[in-house]
Amino acid sequence: MYRRLRNSFIAGLVLLAPLGVTLFVLDFLRSKIGSRVTAMIPANILPPEIRRLPIVDFGLDMAAVVIVVLAITLLGLFSNYFLGKVLIIGTERVIDRVPFVNTVYRTVKQIVETFSKQQKAVFQKVVLTEYPRKGVYVLGFVTSVAKGEVQDKTGAEVINVFVPTTPNPTSGFLLMVPKDEIIELNMTVADGMKLIVSGGAVIPNHTQRPPQIAAEPVTISNPRAADIPPASGDAG
């Protein structure tokens, strides 16, 4: 009985987590951005007795959040034009000259670009590999085939596999695994990410997954993966 209640509680947390995070972000924007922008509104615009009403104060904060979001959106649109690109490049050059700040800025920029440019198919396939010892498996994402010095020194065909941490997939580590030690899965990258973020609680149905399409396909063959049913239309 205790185990069933515990499992039900964990399942409820998994269901409420997306809503809770969304509400947390909205409340953070309202309190940290909206309230500060609202404080800049001159006091003579609204009578004090109306301004002190909770519903009015909340409405002003949310309106300020909307204005800030629109301003960020306009900044993104402006960055697509020549003048916007020139200003952004100039700003980055100034930041690069500031010690410590330039390191933090470049690191955050690399992380954001890695996880935002989905059209480049950074993660190509979902795979399993034995780590940190034989008989223990980790879920990872193929990013590319190792080239250059790594391939020359190892003398084997090595695959770059990114293994995210749970439940924060923005951090992780890189494994360079021989191709014959990788088991390819049929689940999509999105389903693999859900499995990692949920700590294994959200398990995709492998019998209904379409084949993955990568910008630069990486062919992985492994005799141990023979018991995994191939996705429909999968060539390998």
Torsion of CA 72, 76, 77, 78, to 10 degrees: 90
More confident residue, 210 or 106: 106
Q: How confident is the model at residue 117 (pLDDT cuts 50, 70, 90)?
A: low
Is the full-model pTM beyond 0.75?
no
For the stretch 63-93, pLDDT in tens is 777 887 888 788 878 877 777 778 888 888 8
Encoded tokens for 196: 């990692």
Q: What type of residue sits at position 66?
A: V
Backbone phi and psi for residue 56, each to the nearest 5 degrees, phi listed first = -70, -45
